[in-house]
Amino acid sequence: MKHVTAAFCQYTLALLAVLALNFLLIHMMPGDPLVHILGEEGYYQMTRQPPAYIEKIRETYQLNDSLLKQFLSHILRALQGDLGWSHHHGRAVIKIILPRMGWTLLLLIPSVLISTMAGGTLGALAGRSPRGRLDRVLTPLFLLIYSVPGYCLGLFVLILAFHVDALPMGGMPSGITDMALYMMMPMGVLILHSTAYKYMIMKNAVLQEIHEAYVMTARSKGLDDRGILFGHVVKNALPPFITVVAMHFGFMMGGSLVVEMVFSWQGMGTLIYDAVISRDYPLISGGFVIICASVILANALADVIHGCLDPRIRSGNRFNE
């Protein structure tokens, strides 16, 4: 129970920290905070209005109140889903972000699941027999893939696709049917890259576990190698592996933003890029908050799974490391 409370506190704090950072960026940067609240375009439109109107806008955004009060209302509004108004798009930020976030998650969640399964299984198999055939082939390959930046991998794939000319070079699917076709390349890159990472993590976890004494106990009961690997070793290696997968989710999120750009996938990456180019500050910070919230959520979820898988944590015997 202690573990759950502590973890919950930590995630709440992290979310608060993100919101605080957001607030600080808006209010502590030199210049008029209204630029950051309205975005450059909105601010420009506003400056052409009469001073009374400007004052009214200041009033609506409570800019004349104390900072603490502003901060509290900022958090309250954010928690209610009000992340501001994008003048560039002429819509509420949250309404712009959510569908784009959907596209990103469409790309991301299958990648996370597939890479976790593939990386985990391959890593476990390779860890079972170090210096075996699987290990010798996969380890250098995955080390290579992991070391190359994700978007460079994407560019390689793109260049390849350009010369082969079999798959769409990027862009968005128009219907369900060609969805797979368009998703294949960006997702492939994401999967490949994170499979490499998870493979290495799992392999090392299994390598460590395989020397534990309980493995010998299991062998002395006449279990075969496969039974020991999946019945005993993986069960122990899985909880920390899940935690790593969750932590890597944030990294993948960042990576997918760049990969989206490579394949012009209309997700969060391109949205934030456009927002940065047009200096649409509400959209930038809103996107940031949503991304962070989703990463924090993923980590919290992983913590719950971790707790279910590891009885030592469930009963509160082992807190953190």
Partner 1 sequence: MVAWTPVSVPEIDLMNKHARTWREGALILVAAALPGVSIILFKSLDIPNALFSPWLPPGNGHLLGTNDVGQDIFFQLIFAGGRSLMVGLAAALTATLVGTLTGCVAGYYRGIADRVIMGLADIFLLIPDIPLVIVLVSFFEPGLFNVIIVIAMTSWPGTARVVRSRVLKIKESAFVLNARSLGAGDGHIILRHILPHTGELILAKATLAVASAMLTETGISFLGLGDPCQVTWGSMLHGVFAGAGLINGYWWWYLPPVLCISVTVMGFNLAGFYLQKGWGGNVLDDLSLNKQGRTQEERQADDLVVTGIAPPVLMKKINKGTKILAPEPDTRNPISKAHNPAPHSRPPFFCLKRPVFQILNLGVEFETNQKKNIKALDGVNLTLENGDRMAIIGESGSGKSVLFLAMLGLLPGNARISGEIFFKGKGMTSFSQKQYQHIRAWDVAYVPQGAGNALNPVIKVGHQVSERMRIHGGICKKEGMVMAATLLGQTGIINSHQRVHYYPHQFSGGMNQRVLLAMALAGENSVLLADEPTKGLDDKTKEDVLNIFLKFDREAIAVVTHDLWFARKFAGTIVVMYKGIILEQAPADSFFKAPYHPYSKALLNALPFRGILNPVIMSSHNGYGEADFGDNDGGNGDRGDQKDKKFSGGCPWVRECEHFHERCWHMPRLYSHNTHKIRCWCHAPKN
Of 193-252, binders to partner 1 (CB under 8 A) are 197, 200-201, 204, 207-208, 211-214, 216-225, 227, 231-232, 235-236, 239-240, 243-244, 247, 250-251
Kindly state whether residue 29 participates in binding partner 1, applying the rule CB under 8 A. Answer: yes
At 29, give phi and psi (nearest 5°): -70, 150
Kindly state whether residue 5 participates in binding partner 1, applying the rule CB under 8 A. Answer: no
Which conformational region is residue 293 in: left (phi greater than 0), alpha (psi within -120 to 50 degrees), or beta? alpha
Q: With beta carbons less than 8 A apart as the criterion, state whether 138 and 122 touch.
A: yes
Q: Which is nearer to partner 1, 53 or 319 (CB)?
A: 319
Kindly state whether residue 33 participates in binding partner 1, applying the rule CB under 8 A. Answer: no
Kindly state whether residue 8 participates in binding partner 1, applying the rule CB under 8 A. Answer: no
Kindly state whether residue 261 participates in binding partner 1, applying the rule CB under 8 A. Answer: yes
Q: With beta carbons less than 8 A apart as the criterion, state whether 192 and 145 touch.
A: yes
Kindly state whether residue 296 participates in binding partner 1, applying the rule CB under 8 A. Answer: yes
Kindly state whether residue 14 participates in binding partner 1, applying the rule CB under 8 A. Answer: yes
Q: How far is the CB of 232 from partner 1 (least distance, A)?
A: 5
- Binding span for partner 1 by CB under 8 A among 72-80, 87-95, 96-104, 292-300: 292-300
Q: Which is nearer to partner 1, 183 or 198 (CB)?
A: 198
| Residue list 149-168, contact with partner 1 (CB under 8 A) | 149, 151-152, 155-156, 158-159, 162
Site size toward partner 1 (CB under 8 A) is 84
CA distance 127 to 204: 7
From 196, 191, 197, select the one nearest 108 (Cα to Cα): 191
- Binding span for partner 1 by CB under 8 A among 49-57, 58-66, 98-106, 141-149: 141-149
- When binding is defined by CB under 8 A, the residue of 25, 54, 92, 118 that contacts partner 1 is 25
Q: Which is nearer to partner 1, 71 or 251 (CB)?
A: 251
Q: Which is nearer to partner 1, 70 or 282 (CB)?
A: 282
CA distance 290 to 157: 29
How are the residues of the chain apportioned to helix, strand and coil, as percentages rounded to the nearest 5?
80, 0, 20
- When binding is defined by CB under 8 A, the residue of 85, 103, 146, 182 that contacts partner 1 is 146
Q: Measuring CA to CA, how many Å separate 48 from each of 55, 87, 137?
A: 13, 15, 66
Q: Which is nearer to partner 1, 92 or 207 (CB)?
A: 207
CA distance 295 to 44: 34
| Residue list 37-76, contact with partner 1 (CB under 8 A) | none
Kindly state whether residue 171 participates in binding partner 1, applying the rule CB under 8 A. Answer: no
Which residues have C-beta within 8 Å of that of residue 18, sequence separation ≥ 6? 288, 289, 292, 293, 296
Using the 8-state DSSP alphabet, how is residue 166 labeled? -
Q: Which is nearer to partner 1, 28 or 79 (CB)?
A: 28
Which residues have C-beta within 8 Å of that of residue 1, sequence separation ≥ 6? 316
Kindly state whether residue 118 participates in binding partner 1, applying the rule CB under 8 A. Answer: no
Kindly state whether residue 4 participates in binding partner 1, applying the rule CB under 8 A. Answer: no
Q: How far is the CB of 176 from partner 1 (least distance, A)?
A: 28
**Residue 316 amino acid letter:** G
- Binding span for partner 1 by CB under 8 A among 43-51, 73-81, 187-195, 290-298: 290-298
From 194, 170, 201, 172, select the one nearest 108 (Cα to Cα): 194
Which residues have C-beta within 8 Å of that of residue 101, sequence separation ≥ 6? 267, 268, 290, 294
